[in-house]
Amino acid sequence: MKKTLIFDLDGTVLDTLKDLQNSVNFALKSYNFRQKSLEDVRNSVGNGLKMLIRRTLPTEADEMTVYQVLSTMKEHYRLHCHDETAPYDGVPELLHRLHTEGFRMAIVSNKADAMTKELHRVFFSDTIQVAIGETERLHRKPAPDMVFEALRQLGTEQSDAICIGDSEVDIETARNAGLPCLSVGWGFRSEEALLAAGAGTLCRTPQELYEAIKGA
């Protein structure tokens, strides 16, 4: 049984969608762009905040506009990143159970490193040992950089690790890192999208995820 678990953040352990929508719309409104629905934002997340903003702006928006809207969004999100964010039902209990059973756990996210660490501090510091986000040194997923850094900080090897996520990006990240991937069906992507991306194991509840972890 593998004892190291590398979790995605948004859509996997935390429902961050409403706070992301609020910050995106604050930034878009600041520059007189059209507001986005929750579903618009859901379909745009997964590749970092810059790509989120690029996907929510008109296709003709130039790089300066992207930069300005992104800067405004990030500043708003820094102050409001856990106003309405919360763990998914059953996830805190799952993490406590895994922690008690001696699993080593990390979060890797395409959020900026400071935001990732702040959300880890607020919600998971008692169960998850390591939290890593995007930096200049660590490329965003699907590059395997953050996964390898998490393994280094946890003091463990690839052969003992599993990736867990809610998106096609997480499946590709696991593949690039040479790790198996467990996909969760309660996050930001549909089951159909996950299966089309090559999901091997799809877990619909935290209990199913626990059983898949124990069987890996």
Q: Which listed residue (8, 19, 145, 170) is catalytic?
A: 8
**What are the angstrom distances between the C-alpha of 185 and each of 12, 94, 208?**
9, 16, 10
In this structure, what are the phi and psi dihedrals at residue 38, rounded to the nearest 5 degrees? -60, -40
Q: Judging by beta carbons within 10 Å of its beta carbon (0-12, 13-18, 19+), is residue 153 exposed, middle or buried?
A: middle
33 vs 26: CA distance, rounded Å: 10
**Is 162 in contact with 213 (CB distance < 8 Å)?**
yes
**What are the angstrom distances between the C-alpha of 198 and each of 14, 67, 147, 156, 180?**
23, 34, 19, 26, 12
Tens-digit pLDDT profile for the chain (216 aa)? 999 999 999 999 999 999 999 999 999 999 999 999 999 999 898 788 899 999 999 999 999 999 999 999 999 999 999 999 999 999 999 999 999 999 999 999 998 899 999 999 999 999 999 999 989 899 999 999 999 999 999 999 999 999 999 999 999 999 999 999 999 999 999 999 999 999 999 999 999 999 999 988
- How many residues would you count in the chain? 216
Q: Is the peptide bond before 87 cis (omega within 30 degrees of 0)?
A: no
pTM surpassing 0.75? yes
Active site residue 8: yes
